[in-house]
Amino acid sequence: MNDPSIPTWEDVARTHGRKIYNYAYRLTGNPHDAKDLVQEVLLRVRRGLDSYTPGSFDGWLWRITRNAFLDDVRRRNRRPTSPLPDDVDRMPNASSPAADDVLASIRLGDDIQKALLDLPDDFREAIVMCDIVGMSYDEIAQAIDAPIGTVRSRIHRGRKLLKERLG
């Protein structure tokens, strides 16, 4: 763990927490699930860092994130979910200015977010990784364990569907 090329857990949390949160939020449209996912990923990262060997850290991290998300989907599917928060009072910290900004931005992006949520899961995942997280096709292929041709195809087909839905 003294290897300087291996980040500490706290480094990972600060550096990647926001990306993981945005990834989860855009996939689920739900801030509570997104928050849960970030916590779960950070927990798994902390468990796994001891055994992590220097290599593609991002690839490793996003594989963990994706697995955590899929596990979460399995669990969440046992309960009814709402795709978007319909009651802003239930949002955490709804009274703070930062939270107001967040709410405003969520409302602005509502249509786009809804269109994203309408996409098939595979397409949504690829688009979120590309356009929200900013991953390269190569990184996405590694994270979802699929050939790069699949990544190209999913992003392309996802964008076509998005355009149809957004008009």
Partner 1 sequence: MSHRPVLLSAMLDGELSEAESAWVAAHLEGCGECRSELEDLAAARAAVRSLPLLDVPDGIVPADGVVTSLWPRRVAVAVVSVAAAAAVGIGALGVLGMASDAVTTIDVGEAEAILAATGSMGVVSDGSAAAEYLEDNVTARYRARQTMACRDETTFVDNTVDVTRLGNVTVMSDPLAHWTVLAGGSVSTGPSEGPIETVTVTGPAPRMGAYSVTGETRDEFRGRATDIVTLGRDGVDRANLWIDVETSAIVHRELLTAEGTVACVAELVEFEPIEDRIQASMPFDIRAVVTESVYSPVATDLPNTLAGLELVAAYPIDGGEVGVFGDGLFAFAVVRVDGAHPQAGLSETSPAVVWESAGESWAVVGQLPQDLLEWVIGDLPPAEQPSPFVDGWRILFG
Q: Which residue has the tokens 């949520």?
A: 117
* 145 binds partner 1, rule: CB under 8 A: yes
CA 164 to each of CA 115, 119, 121, 129: distance values in angstroms, whole numbers, following the listed order: 9, 11, 17, 21
Which H/E stretch holds residue 159? Answer: helix 148-166
In the bound state with partner 1, the residue whose beta carbon lies nearer, of 14 and 90, is 14
List all residues 6 or more positions away from 122 whose beta carbon is below 8 Å from its beta carbon: 154
Interaction residues for partner 1, span 14-53 (CB under 8 A): 14, 17-18, 21-22, 25-26, 31, 35, 38-39, 42-44, 46-48, 50-51, 53
**Residue among 135, 123, 144 nearest 67 (CA):** 144
CB of 39 to partner 1, least distance (A): 6
Residue ranges binding partner 1 (CB under 8 A)? 9-10, 13-14, 17-18, 21-22, 25-26, 31, 35, 38-39, 42-44, 46-48, 50-51, 53, 63-64, 66-68, 70-71, 74, 77-79, 92-93, 98, 102, 105-106, 108-109, 112-113, 115-116, 127-128, 130-132, 136-137, 145, 152-153, 155-156, 159-160, 162-163, 166
